[in-house]
Amino acid sequence: MATVLLPLAEGFEEVEAVGLIDVMRRGGIDVRIVYIDEKLDHGKVVTGANGIGVKADTSIENIVFDDFDMMVLPGGWDGTYALAEDKRILELLQAFKEKKVVGAMCAAPYVLKKAGVLGNVYTCYPGAKDEIDHPGYRDDRKVVIDGNVMTSQGPGTAVCFGLAIVERLVGKESMQAVKEGMLLDYC
């Protein structure tokens, strides 16, 4: 079973995180949601940019690198900056880029850039392009796949990004079944 690591930091974009998790789990992927801030006494609940609290499975301290096939980051600026300042996240991204798959959407390709793992072509939220400041930006596709680096545009493309991950890690048939079951004909 394919396994994906999805870190949440306060201020993450909710429909991006939940859209990704929902689609990936429906596609048969074991998604582990991890929080990064051990100081917060939040019962593992991480609050997003629009005040929606989502419960994480465990702390990033408890995960084992070898258990995972991919690491993917939802957007939201506050969450993105928090991830970009976390040394554990940056080191994990470098290890995932080296041996596995990394993904990020909306503002979060900024974290890939910070870790030095952003590829030659990528996409992101149009308004985040200047801050990411990296050559190879594409605005003509919802999802851009560049070797083992996958990126996507923003809230409206989260479910489509999830489908692209299911296709990559599980297969086209599973992706197609989830696409039809969730009425995602626009992806």
- Which residues contact its own copies (rule: CB under 8 A)? 13-15, 18-19, 21-23, 25-26, 33, 43, 45, 47, 50-55, 125, 153-157, 159, 181-186
| From 106, 124, 160, 187, active-site residue | 106
Dist CA 32 CA 21 (whole Å): 9
Least Å from the CB of residue 171 to its own copies: 19
For its own copies, which is the closer residue by CB, 33 or 83? 33
Is 106 catalytic? The answer is yes
DSSP β-ladder status, 149-152 and 143-146: antiparallel
CB of 55 vs its own copies, minimal distance in Å: 3
Q: Which is nearer to its own copies, 65 or 186 (CB)?
A: 186
60 vs 93, which CB is nearer to its own copies? 60
Closer Cβ to its own copies, 115 or 159, answer by number: 159
> Least distance from C-beta 176 to its own copies, angstroms?
14
Minimum separation from the CB atom of position 26 to its own copies (A) = 6
List, by residue number, the catalytic residues.
Answer: 106
